Amino acid sequence: MNVSNLPVRLRELRAERGVTQDQVADAVQVSKSLIAAFETSRLAPQQDTAAALDAFFGTGDEIQKLSAEARKNRKPGPSWFRPWRDVEETAVILRYFQATLIPGLLQTEAYARAIFASTGMLSDDEVAERVANRLERQAAILDRADRPAFAFIIDAAVLRCGPPEIAKEQLLHLADTGARPNIFVHVLPDSAGLHPGRSGSFALATLEGSGAVGLLEDFYEGRVIAEPTRVTGLERAWQTVSAVAFPRDQSRDLILRLVNDYEDRAADLAQVQP
């Protein structure tokens, strides 16, 4: 089976139905940029999305087969990230501490685009591709059929960064996603003071029957940490940070209060506009 047939077939089906990318995106509940990425061979739909596309176009399992073949031949994202992506697809527990940004799995499309664009080193097409990769990763990991447990700890300062219109949407998304029964979002308050997380962001994955591995990232790339003593160090850092983080409900209350702050700020700005 020629995997290049996938984007061609998707464009053909959309033309036959006389629908736009926006309409397809709405029908299968993904973003327009993700549909565009499917139609230009930058990404291949995950199983659930491919099944939704087959249902929408009435194509049986044709798109699912084409997508499965395409996924075998590519792993989106930089080469250094692929081992961690494999870990995310099989872990039973995933934990993320973020000191500087909203975790990638919880970012909205607008927030992710703003982050990638802010580097000043990427073209518009490169930004669009990275955003599409991130959205595909979210769909593949957060919506896994076996429902791993997720825990996210986010420094409170991160929640106050960004343009109001983007930040407000992002905070609402955090609150909504954190309401899922297997996803726990915790805020690390300013009062936490000094703690191991000040050294940088990290992640931990617990694997079925084979212990845990970690992930550390710097400005350019990241690396998977499997050496037992180093993983133990990350486990200790997690325990220390989680001990001073707000509980789930208190974190959600803080997030929603910040949403109200953004709304009040927008109202104040509107009043002073000429």
pLDDT tens string 233-256: 999 999 999 999 999 999 999 999
Confidence of residue 35 (pLDDT cuts 50, 70, 90): confident
Q: How many CB atoms sit inside 10 A of residue 188's CB?
A: 23
pLDDT of residue 1: 37
Asked if residue 66 and residue 178 are part of one domain, the reply reads no
Measure the CA–CA gap between 193 and 191, rounded to whole angstroms.
5
> Which residue range forms the structural domain that includes residue 24?
5-72
Query: Domain of 65: which CATH number?
Result: 1.10.260.40
Asked if residue 203 and residue 264 are part of one domain, the reply reads yes
pLDDT tens string 196-213: 777 789 999 999 877 899
Total structural domains within the chain: 2
> Is residue 152 a contact partner of residue 186, using CB atoms and an 8 Å limit?
yes
The mean pLDDT of the chain is 86
Query: Which segment of 80-94, 142-156, 171-185 scores lowest on mean pLDDT?
Result: 80-94
Name the residue among 188, 197, 196 with its Cα closest to residue 155: 188
Asked if residue 45 has pLDDT above 90, the reply is no
Asked if residue 173 has pLDDT above 70, the reply is yes
Measure the CA–CA gap between 45 and 35, rounded to whole angstroms.
9
Asked if residue 65 and residue 87 are part of one domain, the reply reads no
pLDDT of residue 190: 85
Diameter of the chain by CA atoms?
Answer: 64
pTM here is 0.73
